[in-house]
Structure 1
């Protein structure tokens, strides 16, 4: 069927018409799927390879089957390349791609990376395989948050665009650093020459677009919900050791201490469940709840069942959106890693953050599940924050579009 593009999508394709390696760094909701697939169609190679998150495999297959029936969409698992016909789109997830060495023999193909920021770690197996082993004729990168506030994370992506700048040279030209005498290494303190960096990226086929450049979306409202702390949180925060429900928690490393503080402020804080119950009971509207850990899912799901609210779930084990789609009083529980990216949830305009992620990219993406094209109502974001806990500092850091790292946590612990 004929794909009817929006004006802004046509504009981006026209801006990159002369490039065979492109990056569409555009906000969620502006239709990167259509922009990327239309560019792939224009490039017209015999074979095509789409690498995406596991949760997006079926979405991409259905997209090509519906809008580009001339392609044969294949979820690539263990097929032999010898039986793959021309005019095919092979679809595979990031965690499997490096386990399929036969893909290194693929020729005459266009490679598209959905959420290309997932190759930011150049040392990971997936990144090394994609950067060094695959030999695409053309490259299409799609991301709404290509750097998450850390410009050094874009190096692997710009190399794929054909800008063969080394990490050392990139750091010298665009990153401010100072020597840390305590740890004996360079510490990033900021960035420089960003306008020059963006001009350079445009020379290599990268284009940028924000939602506000295209649409007037509804207002966003951010509301902090204060939650009483507990004796256990205070005890663990003071001594990095505390017993809860018959189990001893010992934070003997910065990573463990941060993890347990988050859990003592989260599902192990009964006051937070009380405040969550109050929020749920205050409305019969569709609600979205973001969480981190399986234990959180268990207690939130139990609460929803007690309140007799229909539940949808998106996590590493399931993706069930039936209640969300069909019932206006549903509650959709989403684990950040599994559902912060890619879902269209604009039937709801209320998101509750039971706990916060420590990843800026997931935080920014999560807000766009409801604040996107098709949303007619103001969007509300409710942050359940335990008083005096690590959650407040995490939110401050996330607002700066930075990750809340173990190093930050350790530094703040030292200041106490």
Structure 2
């Protein structure tokens, strides 16, 4: 039997020029002849000895079978490795851990009313001795469950809340709403709330003695020495996925504070503790329960494979066991569908829309020419990497601009069918153009750099129905806000992280929402949007497998398709 260890050609993941879909391109005389015989739907590429095949499971298996005997030089190693793992790894068979939780009663210091599943969340925190990751889906009230815990457990004050900047005022409001003041002699003061200090400056100075300190992640390192002197008992990290990288200054600052002898309780809150890769859970758990997952090296050796970029990816056949390990010792995770029977579904729909491909390809050519020039003169690897990232960001912006007229048309038509709509975008220039082009709807707006008062005013106007259109920056409007007035969310641009999209979706899909939420992802035909969408699906698959016992099943697409048909009919009739 003939075998050969020499490469007989190359394998590359490419965007086919004519079909505008991502495919596998094989080059080399022997490789092309073999593929042509084994894959009926293959078609010839632009050059001699070049063939294109569709990217699907059967073709990946066929390629792997060929490459076991006749190696190809893989030019797209990361994508190929991901496809192989996804195609061949066995499905996890472990059943999820089910917690036996009671409906705990909150202490006298708590003035709110908990739903039954929130009482069970309080019970979990009590049984975990306050060292836990509360990973309920967004919109299920992690804040109120945490406040019920600190008002029930013994010796929890002073409390430090570390949170994103845009949520600090919300934390202060929630504390005033749900907590009663306890005097030094232990008497509950019904009409008063615990004293709160929001730290808004990085300048070091002595802090007043208060019940609760609130600070954003970016200031924590500068004020950690001051915070170490106030006798903290509890540390709460809201949106704890901010600590997913163990090399950042904010991670080091939290790690140092969490290790103080006075700290008894460490609580992490996030509906999406994993943003891009499953290995991001390790730094978070190492703060909440150090040693639970071993050292990072031990964690990676058991649960992960490392790609050629040095990124640790959790193996598909290890995801269920990792999830069970987390649930058994530290994590409580409930989905809305599990606990809120009255909350309607959430439906995602990918809609491919037209784009100005001439403009896009012309601008893309300029970007890559500039990149080539910068790469030639780059003095070190850092400069090369920075140049590459600038090019990617520029491509994302021109993709947004290329499809913008069709995005605007889509938004106008969906607003004629239904009432309130939220549109998320990424770039400030897209945000500005959307506001100008949709001025007839008097949109309200959320964008980075707004003051807290203006941001809240815009949210209030939308929730009260004073405006039916909200245009929000996807990273400015994805946390700390409630937009349940709307049931339609449109993503005019795509982010690289599935967690960012989920957070944005769940500004609508949360307690108080009485309608099915429809999330429309607008993909520009002929741009890299489709590639980004595929990456999001793969990342999302890994995250779902770790966080939940099953991946999302996108039900009720027929409802979304019906609305799209209505829009199309309205366009055709004009």
Q: Give the TM-score normalised by the residue count of structure 2.
A: 0.63
CA contact (8 A) 1:51 1:91 kept: yes
Mapped contact 2:163–2:215 kept (Cα < 8 A): yes
- Residue 133 of structure 1 and its aligned partner are, at CA, apart by 4.2
Quote the offset at 1:76 in angstroms.
Answer: 2.0
Q: Partner of 2:298 in structure 1?
A: 169
8 Å CA contact 1:81–1:106 kept in 2: the answer is: no
User: SS of the residue aligned with 1:111?
Assistant: strand
Which aligned pairs between 1:279-290 and structure 2 lie closer than 5 A? 279=413, 282-283=416-417, 285-290=419-424
1:201 aligns with one of 326, 351, 356:
326
Decide whether aligned partners of structure 1 residues 189 and 72 sit closer, same or farther in structure 2, where only a CA change above 3 A counts.
closer
1:106 equivalent to 2:230? Answer: yes
User: Pairwise mapping of residues 312-323 of structure 1 onto structure 2 (< 5 A)?
Assistant: 312-318=444-450, 319=455, 320-323=458-461
> Does residue 1:2 correspond to 2:111, yes or no?
yes
Task: Give 1:17's match in structure 2, choosing from 126, 130, 134.
Answer: 126
Higher relative contact order (CA 8 A, sep 6+): 1
- 1:17-56, aligned counterparts within 5 Å? 17-18=126-127, 19-43=129-153, 44-56=155-167
Q: Secondary structure at the match of 2:476?
A: helix
1:338-384 Cα distance to aligned partner (Å, 9 max, x none): 11123211110011111111122111111111122222222222222
What SS is found at the alignment partner of 1:171? helix
**Which deviates the most, 270-279 or 23-32?**
270-279
Moved over 4 A (4+): 78-82, 248-252
Q: Shift of residue 150 of structure 1? A: 2.0
**What are the residue-to-residue correspondences of 1:241-280 with 2, within 5 Å?**
241=368, 253-276=387-410, 278-279=412-413
Change beyond 3 A, Cα 1:323–1:108: closer
Among 195, 220, 242, which residue is 1:97 paired with? 220
Name stretches of at least 5 consecutive residues in structure 1 with no aligned partner. 404-416
Change (3 A) 1:123 1:326: same
Q: Within the alignment, does 1:219 sit opposite 2:345 as a pair?
A: yes
**Contact preservation (8 Å) 2:353, 2:403:** no
8 Å CA contact retained: 1:249, 1:260: no
Structure 1 residues 286 and 21: CA distance shift in structure 2, 3 A: same
Pairs within 5 Å for 1:297-336 = 297-305=431-439, 307=440, 309-318=441-450, 319=455, 320-327=458-465, 329-336=467-474
Question: Using the alignment, how far apart are the partners of 2:524 and 2:470 within structure 1?
Answer: 22
8 Å contact from structure 1 (residues 240, 250) kept in 2:
no
Counterparts of residues 287-298 of structure 1 (less than 5 Å): 287-298=421-432
Please give the alpha-carbon distance, in whole angstroms, between the structure 1 residues aligned to 2:479 and 2:373.
Answer: 33
Does residue 1:389 correspond to 2:527, yes or no? yes
Closer, same or farther in 2 for the Cα pair 1:118/1:15, shift >3 Å?
same
* Offset, 1:203: 4.5
Structure 2 CA distance for partners of 1:80 and 1:241, relative to 1, 3 Å: closer
Determine which structure has more spread, i.e. the larger CA radius of gyration.
2
Q: Conserved in 1, the CA contact under 8 Å of 2:168 and 2:198?
A: yes
- Long gaps (5+) in structure 2: 1-109, 182-193, 376-386, 542-574
Shift of 1:268: 5.0
Q: Secondary structure at the match of 1:347?
A: coil
Structure 2 CA distance for aligned equivalents of residues 195 and 16 of structure 1: 23
Post-superposition offset of 1:322: 3.6
* Residue pair 2:200, 2:215 contacting (<8 A) in 1 also: yes
Q: After superposition, give the CA deviation of every residue in 1:294-350 in whole Å (9 maximum; x if it has no partner).
A: 111110111122x2x222222212212243023365211111221112321111001
Residue 240 of structure 2 corresponds to 116
Partner SS, residue 388 of structure 1: coil
More off after superposition, 31-40 vs 169-178: 169-178
Do 1:285 and 1:328's aligned partners in 2 also have CA atoms closer than 8 Å? Answer: no
CA 1:224–1:103 in 2, change beyond 3 Å: closer, same or farther? same
Compute the displacement of 1:289 (Å): 0.7
The superposition leaves residues 149-204 of structure 1 with CA deviations (integer Å, 9 ceiling, x where unpaired) of 522101111112223221101101111336x4xx6x57647344333323332343
Shift of 1:40: 1.8
Alpha-carbon spacing, 1:251–1:49, altered in 2? closer, same or farther (3 Å): same
For residue 9 of structure 1, report the CA deviation from its aligned partner.
0.9
2:495 pairs, out of 338, 357, 375, with: 357
Between the aligned partners of 1:250 and 1:370, the Cα distance in structure 2 is: 45
Structure 1 residue 269 displacement after superposition: 4.5
Q: Residues 251 and 343 from structure 1, CA distance in 2 versus in 1: closer, same or farther, beyond 3 angstroms?
A: farther
**How far apart, in 2, do the equivalents of 1:384 and 1:82 lie?**
48
Larger proportion of strand: 1
Give the match for residue 366 of structure 1: 504
User: Is the 1:312–1:322 Cα contact (8 Å) retained in structure 2?
Assistant: no
CA deviation map 1:96-153 (0-9, x unaligned): 1112131133324200011111100111111111112442221111110111352210
Query: Alpha carbons of 1:249 and 1:286: their partners in 2 closer, same or farther (altered >3 Å)?
Result: farther
Residue 270 of structure 1: how far off its partner (Å): 5.0
- Return closer, same or farther for 1:270/1:386 CA change in 2, 3 Å cut-off: same
